[in-house]
Amino acid sequence: MQKFAIPQPDLVTLPILDSDELFPVRRIYCIGRNYAEHAIEMGFDPKEDPFFFQKNPNNIDLSGTFPYPRESNDVHHEIEMYFALKSGGSNILKKDAHKHIFGFGIGIDMTRRDLQAVSKKLGRPWEIGKAFEKSAPMGPITKIEKCGMMKSGKIFLKVNDEVRQNGNLNMMIWKIEMQIAHLSRFYDIGAGDIVMTGTPAGVGPVLKGDILQANIERLGSIEIKVV
């Protein structure tokens, strides 16, 4: 039996809708500025090449609460659809990308916008603004056999019953297959990887006590309370 020098960290998993199985998470990739109106509202050209940053698997939270993080006074919501991979590789062709998808789900990329802005200004990585504790509230995975390829569908987020973000998945600049093909040029993507696919316009701040409801057509909704 293998001995570890310290207690073995917990394996991060996501529930699967209508299943008693769990999906083990290996990595989380996030594409930036993948909806044109969001890119514009953030002051960038939507025609730029795609880029990705990462969150950590243990940033995933299923509790339904989001504790307002330390060292920030400007935390924003960003609703995103994610997809989960059952297989992968390198240099995957766009026409083959769909074969690697296990399913889809709802996530929120919570962002310490003030700390991210400092990082951008100084030319530093974004992790301090993106990859912090409980910064990735998520819902269960719906298998692709049930929901299809999710090329279109309403995506919207309410804060205290007021719609803040409202778009459609067909507004993505870089479609799902393109994201897989692009990622696999630079990484050996594989089973257990999660990809967050970008957020529509309307991102904004949250306050303690706010109730966030994230909705994606055919995937249902998740509700988060800021505490």
Asked if residue 186 has pLDDT above 70, the reply is yes
Strand partners, 52: 31
Q: Count CB neighbours of 133 within 10 A.
A: 14
pTM: 0.94
Among residues 165, 179, 204, 164, the alpha carbon closest in space to that of 34 is found at 179
DSSP labels for 116-164? HHHHHHHT--SHHHHSSTT-EEB-PBEEHHHHTT--S-EEEEEETTEEE
Provide the terminal-to-terminal Cα distance of the chain, rounded to the nearest Å.
42
CA distance 69 to 138: 17
50 has a pLDDT exceeding 90: no
pLDDT of res. 26: 98
Residue 80 contacts residue 198 (beta carbons within 8 Å): yes
By CB neighbour count within 10 A (0-12 exposed, 13-18 middle, 19+ buried), where does 15 fall? middle
Round to whole Å and give the CA distance between 147 and 203. Answer: 26
Nearest alpha carbon to residue 78 among 27, 112, 122, 44: 112
Mean pLDDT, rounded, of the chain:
95
Question: Which residues pair with residue 53 across a beta bridge?
Answer: 30
The model's confidence at residue 38, banded by pLDDT at 50, 70 and 90, is low
β-pair partners for 142: 104
What integer pLDDT is reported at residue 48 of this predicted model? 74
CA-derived radius of gyration, the chain:
17
Residues 120-153: pLDDT tens digits? 999 999 999 999 999 999 999 999 999 999 999 9
Q: Residue 143's closest CA among 173, 182, 101, 108?
A: 101
CATH of domain 13-226: 3.90.850.10
Q: Output the six-digit token pair for 59.
A: 């940033």
Q: Are the C-beta atoms of 108 and 136 separated by less than 8 Å? A: yes
Structure tokens at 222: 């998740």
CA distance 105 to 23: 12
Tell me: pLDDT of 101 over 70. Answer: yes
pLDDT value at residue 1: 80
